[in-house]
C-alpha cells in the first residue's frame, strides 16, 4: 500500500509540474497569435466589428490556461490532505512529504513571481485590442456594441482572479471533509 501511495504522490506532483510549466508556453503562443491577428485586422480588415477576431484568440488562450491552473491547485490540495496531513503515523513528520503544506503556509511574497492566471497581461491585451475598434473611427453605436464583449471578458478575468484567490482555502476545507468521510 505504501508503494501505491508513494507512486500516486510522485505522479501527481509531476502532473502539477507539467501544468505549471505548460501555462506560460501556452500564454506566449496565444498572445503571439492574438498580436498577429490584431495586426492583420488593423491592416486588412479595418472595421470595428473585426476586433472580435483577435479578442476571440485572447479568450481562447485564457480558457486554455485557466483550467490548467485550477486543476493543478486542486491536485495540490488533494496531495496536502491525503498525503501530507494524513501521513504515516510511524514515520516522523520531518520525513513526510510537505511541499504543499509549506508552499501554502509560505504565502505570497509581494513583487516576486507573476500572476498565476496572467490576468494583468490579459487586461492590457484586451485594452490594446479595443484599438481595433477605435482606429477605424466608428460611430457611437459600434463603439458601444464592441465594448460589450471587451467588458464582458474583463469581468470574466476579474471573476476568475477572485475565484483563484479563494480556491485554496475552499478546496482545502472540502478535501478535509472528504478525507474525514473516508476514515472509518
Query: pLDDT tens for residues 96-115?
Result: 566 565 555 555 555 556 78
Least confident of 20-29, 46-55, 79-88: 79-88
CA distance 6 to 116: 28
What is the span of the domain harbouring residue 108? 2-182
Could you tell me if 69 and 159 are in contact, meaning their C-beta atoms sit under 8 angstroms apart? no
CA distance 125 to 155: 14
Task: Please tell me the pTM assigned to this model.
Answer: 0.86
Cell of 116: 498565476
Instruction: Report which DSSP code applies to 151.
Output: H
Domain count for the chain, please give it.
1
Amino acid at each position: 500500500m505504501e508503494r501505491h501511495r508513494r507512486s500516486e504522490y510522485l505522479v501527481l506532483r509531476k502532473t502539477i509540474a507539467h501544468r505549471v510549466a505548460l501555462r506560460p508556453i501556452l500564454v506566449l503562443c496565444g498572445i503571439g497569435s492574438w498580436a498577429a491577428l490584431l495586426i492583420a485586422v488593423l491592416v486588412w480588415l479595418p472595421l470595428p466589428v473585426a476586433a472580435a477576431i483577435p479578442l476571440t484568440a485572447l479568450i481562447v488562450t485564457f480558457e486554455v490556461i485557466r483550467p490548467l491552473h485550477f486543476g493543478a491547485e486542486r491536485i495540490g490540495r488533494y496531495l496536502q490532505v491525503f498525503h501530507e496531513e494524513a501521513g504515516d503515523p510511524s514515520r516522523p513528520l520531518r520525513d513526510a512529504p510537505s511541499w504543499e503544506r509549506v508552499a501554502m503556509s509560505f504565502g505570497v511574497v509581494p513583487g516576486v513571481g507573476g500572476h498565476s492566471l496572467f490576468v494583468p497581461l490579459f487586461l492590457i491585451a484586451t485594452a490594446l485590442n479595443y484599438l481595433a475598434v477605435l482606429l477605424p473611427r466608428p460611430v457611437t453605436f459600434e463603439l458601444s456594441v464592441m465594448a460589450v464583449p471587451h467588458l464582458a471578458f474583463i469581468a470574466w478575468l476579474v471573476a476568475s482572479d477572485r475565484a483563484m484567490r479563494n480556491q485554496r482555502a475552499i478546496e482545502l476545507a472540502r478535501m478535509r471533509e472528504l478525507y474525514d468521510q473516508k476514515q472509518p
